[in-house]
Structure 1
Amino acid sequence: MEWKKASSLDEYDKLVIRMNTPRVVIDNAVCASSTLVKVDSARKQGFLLEAVQVLADLNLSINKAYVSSDGRWFMDVFHVTDQNGEKLKNESLLSYIERTLSATTSSAASDGEVGLTVLELTGSDRPGLLSEVFAVLADLRCDVVEAKVWTHNGRIASRTRVRDGDSGEPIEDSVKIDRIEARLRNVLKGDHDVRSSAAVGDGATHPERRLHQMMFADRDYERAAAAAAETGPSVSVQNWVERGTWSAR
């Protein structure tokens, strides 16, 4: 009886996952001028914005969209073209869109963050900046698991996942955390950049999308250099209990 009960719970869990996972269909046959991306799923707050961000981050144009809902369910249909106004024909791109939109954002993204410290840095790009950041982390015995970097108009946004080099676990030593804060603060001040920052990102957000958000939030290209305030960067580290991670901010 216990085995059957456990099996029943497993099947129920699988059903819940299937019901809440978006079903994505990409159709190139219906419309002559654009690719149709159809998303059918249970209603979830913010999912429409997430879907639009996925397409926007790929530099795709949404020519028109239809949104319909019935109770707890909704369907979105996007008419999408590439930068040249053409239908999407790259199979790798189509597969990526389908996988990204189909992924359960609450689990797929966060699983990779568990047990890691996620560092998000924005500031002025300069030769040797990342080398200095990685040298600091290596010197403090922080293993870099993954790093993603975007640059634009002399600005840089990086998202780096690290763990303790000795234990392989999240960084929990308060003394070590203080040292990371101080050393990163010195690196960010290296080019006298008054707008550099270090923060933790949302683990449920796609890494590439998050980098896009960081660059957009930074928007250094829209600021006048003369208007910069003479304030230093701020770095702090917090324990992200629910995800088993520490965050550097």
Structure 2
Amino acid sequence: MKRCRTPNTKVCRMNEVCSPYYDPDFDSLPERIYGPACRVDIDNESLEDCTIVTIDSVKKQGLLLEVVQALTDLNLTISKGYISSDAGWLMDVFQVKDELGNKVTDKRVINYIQQAIGSNSLTSLTAKARPSSDSQPGEPKAIEMTGKDRPGLFSEISAALADLGCNIIEAHAWSHNARLACVAHISDQSADTPIDDHRLHAIEDHLTTVLRATTSKSAENPNQQEAKPAGLPKGELSTTTRVERRLHQLMLSGRDFDRPPEQTRSPTPGSDSDDEERKSSVVSIESCVEKGYSIVTIQCKDRRRLMFDTVCTLTDLQYVIFHASVDSCEGYAYQEYFIRHADGCALNTEGEKDRVIKCLEAAIERRVCEQGVRLELCAYNRVGLLSDITRLLRENGLAVVRADVATKGEKSVNAFYVRDISGNNVDLDFIKSMKREMGAIDLSVMKETTNSQPASNERPKLSIGEILKFQIERLSNGFIAIK
């Protein structure tokens, strides 16, 4: 072949000859010889009432959590599950249903499951999170906050962000055992002005001051009451389960599994039902000496995302799940995990077993609101909207125990789980007064329950949440129910 004489020539044949040859079929050669590293099978024929999802894959730490997370992202309910790993290979079998309790028949959902759980799962999830965020000049910034909870703290955080001219694009907050964890996605009130690092540090310092502003001197570690950049990979904040896993980690690092002394159980009106629910949640650990496993057994009321919460906790505690079985029947869940620590050891000491039990109990309780009422609000988004809403809740004596805030187009969709600070039920007078003060904000109210399906075929009675909802429909001509 003729050699190229001038080095500045635009097309140089010498370079074309010397460049390494790339065979596009080479990367798939191991898969064609040994089979795919991960196979996902969707079966809608074997059972009448649910879809069977089977995953055969090379075993790796955290894979089970990725699978459960992908199913949870689609709001699928896992009614049964079997997990087994041996000789470096893992097989998961799940029986799942959609939000309406039916089989999964949507081709788009099926394709998403196969792509998300397959070898390119991380790429698929990241690409679906927010594909255009990198090109926006005012890209939102993520901040996480942890601290000792107090009445009105979430309202104070919202007010502080509004005073600093920050628009809350997305926020998720949990409160449990006098601890608060929050992950917020914020932008500048001007969409064309990004929040630079200098201003972000100033916002974090201000929020840290709010978190540490208590009436009495706190004996806690100051590092457990602070605001800092969110510990999430870029572009994944829009995936709800990734945010929820981070909330689990923040609560775990804040030791919310240690019940504060001021929460000792005393006989109060309405507390008997809470005690019964806590007694119905049983976590125990036994030893399987022959195989070197520790067997973790969980029995509690069933609810959505329960398996995600328990698998998250075991994974973050650095335990490997080798075998597991999950079952739910008539609103009750039974889970069994065969685990070892990441170093290969079982749980040998009583102290370690006690800590794992407390952490799992906390993971089960974090998402459940005792005597909680769910408020759903929808309004056109603006700076200070969340501050105004939470201020009204605080002024009416309500404590926010959980919050999910999201922006859809020009509207802000807010879901709050609230309960009365004094322990009383939320009455209609509060709803009427709050509706008058909120003006053009659509409001829906429902009773929070932990059982997603009725245990019998009896006609359900109207709950207090449904009564409130019907009353609000009469009060508001522009009522919008947010699913």
TM-score, normalised relative to structure 2: 0.33
Q: SS at 1:132's partner residue?
A: helix
From 105, 115, 140, the counterpart of 2:125: 105
| Equivalent residues of 1:123, 1:193 under 8 A apart | no
CA distance in 1, matches of 2:113, 2:187: 26
| Equivalent residues of 1:116, 1:169 under 8 A apart | no
From 188, 207, 213, the counterpart of 2:211: 188
Name the residue aligned to 2:93.
78
User: By how many angstroms is 1:171 displaced?
Assistant: 0.8
Q: SS at 1:105's partner residue?
A: helix
Query: C-alpha deviations, 1:6-36, integer Å up to 9, x for none?
Result: xxxxxxxxxxxxxxxx996643542579742
User: By how many angstroms is 1:66 displaced?
Assistant: 6.1
Among all aligned residue pairs of Structure 1 and Structure 2, give the percentage whose two residues are the same amino acid.
30
| Equivalent residues of 1:120, 1:158 under 8 A apart | yes
CA distance in 1, matches of 2:179, 2:70: 22
Name the residue aligned to 2:257.
222
| Equivalent residues of 2:54, 2:91 under 8 A apart | yes
| Equivalent residues of 2:145, 2:183 under 8 A apart | yes
CA distance in 2, matches of 1:97, 1:153: 37
CA distance in 2, matches of 1:25, 1:213: 30
CA distance in 2, matches of 1:207, 1:193: 33
Name the residue aligned to 2:43.
27
| Equivalent residues of 2:231, 2:246 under 8 A apart | no
Confirm whether residue 123 of structure 1 aligns to residue 147 of structure 2.
Answer: yes
Q: Give the gaps of 5 or more residues in structure 2.
A: 1-37, 117-123, 262-483
Q: Name the stretch that deviates more: 179-188 or 162-171.
A: 162-171
Q: SS at 1:111's partner residue?
A: coil
Amino acid at match of 1:196: Q
Query: C-alpha deviations, 1:131-185, integer Å up to 9, x for none?
Result: 21121111111111111223333333222111122344431162x2342122111
From 236, 245, 248, the counterpart of 1:212: 245
| Equivalent residues of 1:121, 1:158 under 8 A apart | yes
May I ask how many residue pairs the two structures share in their alignment? 199
User: By how many angstroms is 1:118 displaced?
Assistant: 0.7
Confirm whether residue 155 of structure 1 aligns to residue 175 of structure 2.
Answer: no
CA distance in 1, matches of 2:245, 2:68: 13
Q: SS at 1:50's partner residue?
A: helix
Amino acid at match of 2:67: A
CA distance in 2, matches of 1:181, 1:151: 20
CA distance in 2, matches of 1:65, 1:47: 11
| Equivalent residues of 2:177, 2:259 under 8 A apart | no
From 200, 211, 226, the counterpart of 1:177: 200
CA distance in 1, matches of 2:101, 2:190: 38
CA distance in 1, matches of 2:109, 2:211: 35
Confirm whether residue 165 of structure 1 aligns to residue 189 of structure 2.
Answer: yes
Q: Which has the higher contact order (CA 8 A, sep 6+)?
A: 1
Name the residue aligned to 2:232.
202
Name the residue aligned to 1:65.
83
Query: C-alpha deviations, 1:31-56, integer Å up to 9, x for none?
Result: 57974224589999965531134457
| Equivalent residues of 1:40, 1:75 under 8 A apart | yes
Name the residue aligned to 1:10.
none
| Equivalent residues of 2:177, 2:258 under 8 A apart | no
Query: C-alpha deviations, 1:52-90, integer Å up to 9, x for none?
Result: 34457877465313679xxxxx9964224xxxxxx6364
Q: SS at 1:222's partner residue?
A: coil
TM-score, normalised relative to structure 1: 0.57
Q: SS at 1:201's partner residue?
A: coil
CA distance in 2, matches of 1:171, 1:62: 46
CA distance in 2, matches of 1:193, 1:23: 52
| Equivalent residues of 2:50, 2:97 under 8 A apart | yes
| Equivalent residues of 1:64, 1:78 under 8 A apart | yes
User: By how many angstroms is 1:108 displaced?
Assistant: 1.9
CA distance in 1, matches of 2:113, 2:132: 15
Q: SS at 2:97's partner residue?
A: coil
Taking only aligned residues, the RMSD between alpha carbons, in angstroms, comes to 4.5
User: By how many angstroms is 1:125 displaced?
Assistant: 2.9
CA distance in 2, matches of 1:92, 1:161: 32
Name the residue aligned to 2:97.
88
| Equivalent residues of 1:66, 1:76 under 8 A apart | yes
CA distance in 1, matches of 2:114, 2:212: 39
Q: Give the gaps of 5 or more residues in structure 1.
A: 1-21, 69-73, 81-86, 227-249
